[in-house]
Amino acid sequence: MSDCTFTAPAVRDYFAALRHYARLRPKEAQRFAQHFEYTVHRIITEGLRIPRHGYDCYAIVVFDYSDYILYDFDENRPVIVGVANAHRGPDYWKGQRL
């Protein structure tokens, strides 16, 4: 995942999601991490082809989960700005951006 950047809030969101799935079942956290990595790879390879989430960022769902990865681009390089479960408000991440 070295072809993209994560903001500090996005890293916190990711680890919070991992903790959540680990509480459900220990192997679920590992499965989520694998699907998350696959989704980040999709962002790196086809990120600009994924529709924008409103006008502020792009969003892609983590395969088989109700979590989204929110991202934008900085000089053609993806920047992950948030990881959010679908129950969060649509613009929760705006105040967290670095």
**Model pTM score:** 0.81
Task: Assign residue 49 the CATH number of its domain.
Answer: 3.30.2310.20
Which residues constitute the domain of residue 26? 5-86
**57 domain-assigned:** yes
Nearest-angstrom CA–CA distance, 77 and 89? 26
pLDDT digits (tens, 9 = 90+) for 9-34: 999 999 999 999 999 998 999 999 99
**43 domain-assigned:** yes
Higher pLDDT, 67 or 94: 67
C-beta atoms surrounding 78 within 10 Å = 22
Which of 46, 36, 37, 39 lies closest to 73 in space, CA to CA?
A: 46
pLDDT at residue 98 in the model: 43
**32 domain-assigned:** yes
pLDDT at residue 76 in the model: 82
pLDDT at residue 10 in the model: 94
pLDDT at residue 31 in the model: 96
Tokens representing residue 78 in the block: 């993806």
In three-state secondary structure terms, 47 is helix
Higher pLDDT, 98 or 62: 62
List, edge to edge, every strand of the sheet that includes 57-61.
Answer: 5-6, 77-85, 67-74, 57-61, 52-53
The answer for residues whose C-beta is within 8 angstroms of residue 16's C-beta and 6 or more apart is: 83
**97 domain-assigned:** no
**73 domain-assigned:** yes
**62 domain-assigned:** yes
**9 domain-assigned:** yes
Q: Is the pLDDT of residue 94 over 80?
A: no
**96 domain-assigned:** no
Number of domains in the chain: 1
pLDDT at residue 21 in the model: 93
